[in-house]
Structure 1
């Protein structure tokens, strides 16, 4: 009888162990399913800003955290990392910059496969990272401001693309060691998407100015004109040119000219909307596509950009330098039978720009049907120019 009871007891223990193992594997399967769903979501876009939002909100849903931050590689040449987006904190951007000389970067970059001396390719409790640096006599890190509980590196195939930072859990419970493995699996998937977005960005961006390149501009102009036809909406096109830029380069040199191009691009980019498409058309010429924007609204934007550039103090010399720009604007009012081509649209904007330059520079001109005739008359009046 005693043997029978002992056998039953052993069977019950085995059943409990099996049930526990089943629940454990069921949880793992559920997490893998969740990761698959997350993968589909984060691979749905190659636009970095949208991708950052998707990653952080997916984190909040997967790990039930109060806050999350994404730090990304923003300048490959300089090895500069910046906080790209935060959710659940007082600000969505803290303007934190992490340079290649940062102890945090050095700890991850310096042979990450040797965890005895450096930080490895895995997720960490933030307390572990703090202890790692405190042992080196360093108490404060750039990432302290993000109220971190967990930090995980975003490793692509061959490079570090940033960090994912998670705050405390919503239910105030602590992360377990097993959670770190799941978090790092998530960051591996996120890093692949970020790497793809960076590669896509390299293909469509002008490296110097960080505006869209000429080919991307042409593609998007065609798309926006077709969309305009389909939905009977207006799209405007602006062209800018830095006045007397050749003379400027001859006087101050091409390095100073590059400083002006970069700063001017930044002023244009920060003035237009996120839905607009600013591009470097070529040399010192820039273009901006403004979807669903009338020529009158575009004129206000053009004037705002012109005034900002006129007032801006360009660095690089003993005293600040100043430049002006000329601008031409055209409007595409769509109908289903519109015969205006992208080439025609560009030509209209370019003629308005040319009129601005011929008419004294540092001004914005809206294209009208009279512009070609006015330019012809100007040429006849000044045949040597």
Structure 2
């Protein structure tokens, strides 16, 4: 029977003073508050596990913490690499993400310490452990008081540092407990998102990989059939890529791929799916773009790359791309392979006709 019903029972009411003096009522109230807090924490955990990127997850964590208290500074240090170190730092001041970064290249020095200290700790314990080193120097300007390790099956994924609260009060035991519990879920969430991103993204460019692209094209085909809308895909190839490798070396080729990736990222709309097909080829899914819109988007991207200048050693590399466009017609029985083949054929025409151009498989659109 729920307490709301019990509290109205005449027998309970007749012994109200006894319950009050014995502390039973206080205990019931504390238990109810604790259960409510746990329910809220479980709801927060569900949202944490729904996030698809580390950045989204951190923004959510900041939102949850801001509802409880506001640290003057928070520092997230995360290793996004799995086989290699790829350290990412996110700095928050008064719960707002800044553009600041910290130069740290490895979490290895802290790995052994957190293997035996797996809970939330005070920063001074870390200072005592590393007093003879300069490992903590990059963090000192943020005046951390609390350190939360982000631990998982592969070891230490990162650390989260909390400085004093904005109003200067000490952290209450229940606040430390909340941080500890929330960060347990956050650790799992960060592991999941890191492993998810590695499964769907190209390690060199950070773009989606080809398998993810095909998965999204299949989803778009099903959606297009249902709502009777067109969409387009682009296949992109860097012109004369072998020239950069042969003339300047493979590091120059890598730099060309990275610079093209950056321009492509800036040139697409929110909701478009950009992937690295492999080597010097890229693909873009343009949801709801018809034939003409697909060609116009392709030309906009081509011109952006054409205007790009890439300094390398003492030279400036001039880069161009060729593109092929194919548009899905919901009236035809077409799959992702036949659509990609059409875009490839259009790309071949672009390269055959002199490169640095766009060709649409549907010629009436070009």
Q: TM-score, normalised by structure 2?
A: 0.77
Instruction: Give every structure 1 segment of 4 or more consecutive aligned residues whose post-TM-superposition deviation is greater than 6 Å.
Output: 11-14, 66-69, 126-140, 167-172
> Quick one: which of 252, 257, 262 aligns to 2:258?
262
1:93 to 1:328, Cα distance in 2 relative to 1, 3 A:
farther
Question: Does 2:171 correspond to 1:175?
Answer: yes
- Structure 1: distance between partners of 2:69 and 2:230: 43
Q: CA deviation at 1:148?
A: 6.7
Asked if 2 retains the 8 angstrom alpha-carbon contact of 1:240 and 1:287, the reply is yes
What residue in structure 2 maps to residue 56 of structure 1? 62
1:316 to 1:140, Cα distance in 2 relative to 1, 3 A:
same
Asked if 1 retains the 8 angstrom alpha-carbon contact of 2:91 and 2:101, the reply is no
1:36 to 1:232, Cα distance in 2 relative to 1, 3 A:
same
Question: Does 2:234 correspond to 1:234?
Answer: no
- Structure 1: distance between partners of 2:162 and 2:300: 39
Residue-by-residue CA offset, 1:64-112 (whole Å, 9 max, x unaligned)? 437867554344566233345859655x4515244225xxx46633422
- Structure 2: distance between partners of 1:255 and 1:311: 22
1:73 to 1:292, Cα distance in 2 relative to 1, 3 A:
farther
> Quick one: which of 277, 280, 286 aligns to 2:276?
280
Question: Does 2:306 correspond to 1:310?
Answer: yes
- Structure 1: distance between partners of 2:109 and 2:204: 30
Q: CA deviation at 1:369?
A: 4.2
Aligned length: 348
1:170 to 1:247, Cα distance in 2 relative to 1, 3 A:
closer
What residue in structure 2 maps to residue 380 of structure 1? none
Q: Secondary structure at the match of 1:321?
A: strand
Q: TM-score, normalised by structure 1?
A: 0.74
Asked if 1 retains the 8 angstrom alpha-carbon contact of 2:79 and 2:157, the reply is yes
> Quick one: which of 117, 120, 123 aligns to 1:123?
120
Residue-by-residue CA offset, 1:115-158 (whole Å, 9 max, x unaligned)? xxxxx43335668878988997899645856x977552322223
Where structure 2 has 5 or more consecutive residues not aligned to the other structure, the ranges are 1-17
- Structure 2: distance between partners of 1:209 and 1:233: 31
Q: Secondary structure at the match of 1:287?
A: strand
Q: CA deviation at 1:219?
A: 1.2
Q: How does 1:147-162 map to 2 (within 5 A)?
A: 150-162=146-158
- Structure 1: distance between partners of 2:30 and 2:155: 34
- Structure 2: distance between partners of 1:154 and 1:51: 13
More divergent stretch after superposition (80-89 vs 244-253): 80-89
Aligned residues: CA RMSD = 3.8
Asked if 2 retains the 8 angstrom alpha-carbon contact of 1:156 and 1:191, the reply is yes
> Quick one: which of 82, 85, 92 aligns to 2:88?
82
1:343 to 1:212, Cα distance in 2 relative to 1, 3 A:
same
> Quick one: which of 73, 84, 87 aligns to 2:79?
73
> Quick one: which of 342, 357, 365 aligns to 1:363?
357
Asked if 1 retains the 8 angstrom alpha-carbon contact of 2:41 and 2:182, the reply is yes
Q: Secondary structure at the match of 1:155?
A: strand
> Quick one: which of 41, 50, 55 aligns to 1:35?
41
Asked if 2 retains the 8 angstrom alpha-carbon contact of 1:148 and 1:168, the reply is yes
Asked if 2 retains the 8 angstrom alpha-carbon contact of 1:82 and 1:95, the reply is no
What residue in structure 2 maps to residue 343 of structure 1? 337
Residue-by-residue CA offset, 1:191-250 (whole Å, 9 max, x unaligned)? 111211221222222222222222211111111121122223332211110111123323
What residue in structure 2 maps to residue 197 of structure 1? 193
